[in-house]
Amino acid sequence: MIRLEKRPTPSRAWAAATPVLAVLATMIAGGLLFAALGKDPFAAIRIIFWDPLFHEQFAAYSRPQLLVKAGPLILIAIGLSLGFRAGIWNIGAEGQYIMGAICGAGAGLAFYPSESILIFPLMVLAGALGGWAWAMIPAILKTKFGANEILVSLMLVYVAENVLASVSSGLLRNPEGHGFPGSRNLQQWGASANPELIAGSGMHWGVVAAFIAVIFTYVLLTRHILGFQIRLTGESPRAARFAGVNPARLILICLGLSGALAGLAGLFEVTGPAGQISIDFGSGYGFTAIIVAFLGRLHPVGILLAGLLMALTYIGGELAQLMLGLPSAAIQLFQGMLLFFLLAMDVLSNFRIRLGKAEVA
């Protein structure tokens, strides 16, 4: 019989190995899934993981997409990871992402058609504030009334989506857009554009911000008392209070930071790859970032790698739909498996497997 035995100390080796094992297990289970759908599993896996980067025909288009997609995922996941580490569950990053984009775009468009160089920085600030303010709603409801932040933040996503639909056909609609919903194109307006910084790389200001956030968070968590308090609160809330941590303050900080980073991601997206506020602007980055955060073990460097990997499965998945005619649901299932296997393998870092007879101890 197989049984699990708790390790005295969590295994660092297993903690590092589980994401890799989870990816391998996903490839195997996904391959079986694709085979069951009548597709060549090896071709499908190759198309998802290899072709976006190295296929001679598609790579030129899809390689820059890697950073374009990974940038917002990493930026949002980094913010979420701070709260998750402290046991504060912001599930509504998607809403904060949308509100950041709306606030940032609105702040810029108020000055249209000015070409001042101050407009883009102003938009960045407004985007961060928009996401921050949206996250402050669950934060304040939790600290003042004990409302569950998971539910409140999640419900606010749907509110944000309705706000998005409303402003894209009302307040922010392009006056020269012949009545179609959607704002002016921010990428084509010099003052607000978030261009590709190095041609062919996909690198834009949002990706730069994501890299800065990774470094900043790494330093915060390993070198700063606030990072220590975040980790301590997640590990043991009572010990944290004993160590003088103010739980309400920590909730405000963690939700605020994650909201601001999600808002920034939304702003960089709307001024860059997306180009305008439109009804279908919300693309699910805020939800996928939750997977990225856990896939990266809530560690900044892990999240960087996980964001790139998740972006790869997005692009590869689209490619597989195109080349093999795989249904998009199969691709989503494939991505979901990744989180499933990761959580399942997590057991190995805290437990070791013993073969032998069961026993009540």
For residue 355, the minimal CB distance to another protein (Å) is 13
Residue at 176: amino acid letter: E
For residue 358, the minimal CB distance to another protein (Å) is 10
Say how far apart CA 51 and CA 63 lie, in whole Å.
9
Q: What would the DSSP string read from start to end of 46-59? A: HHHHTHHHH-TTTH
For residue 232, the minimal CB distance to another protein (Å) is 6
Q: CB of 204 within 8 A of CB of 197?
A: yes
Q: CB of 347 within 8 A of CB of 4?
A: yes
Stretch that binds another protein, among 45-53, 169-177, 236-244, 262-270 (CB under 8 A): 236-244
144 forms part of the interface with another protein (CB under 8 A)? no
For residue 341, the minimal CB distance to another protein (Å) is 23
C-alpha to C-alpha distances, 110 to 102, 122, 269, nearest whole angstrom:
12, 11, 19
Say how far apart CA 354 and CA 181 lie, in whole Å.
61
Choose which of 242, 322, 327, 328 interacts with another protein (CB under 8 A): 242
Q: CB of 155 within 8 A of CB of 141?
A: no
C-alpha to C-alpha distances, 120 to 111, 166, 182, nearest whole angstrom:
11, 24, 20
User: Who contacts 329 (Cβ-Cβ below 8 Å, separation ≥6)?
Assistant: none
* Angle between the N-to-C axes of helices 93-109 and 247-271, in degrees from 0 to 180, rounded to the nearest 10: 60
228 forms part of the interface with another protein (CB under 8 A)? yes
For residue 225, the minimal CB distance to another protein (Å) is 5
β-bridge partners, 3 = 354
249 forms part of the interface with another protein (CB under 8 A)? no
For residue 354, the minimal CB distance to another protein (Å) is 8
Choose which of 57, 144, 238, 355 interacts with another protein (CB under 8 A): 238
248 forms part of the interface with another protein (CB under 8 A)? no
Q: CB of 138 within 8 A of CB of 90?
A: yes
Stretch that binds another protein, among 63-71, 170-178, 228-236, 282-290 (CB under 8 A): 228-236
280 forms part of the interface with another protein (CB under 8 A)? no
Choose which of 179, 223, 329, 355 interacts with another protein (CB under 8 A): 223
- Nearer to another protein by Cβ, of 225 and 301: the residue is 225
By the criterion CB under 8 A, which residues form the site for another protein? 5, 8-10, 223-226, 228, 231-232, 235-236, 238-244, 246, 359-361
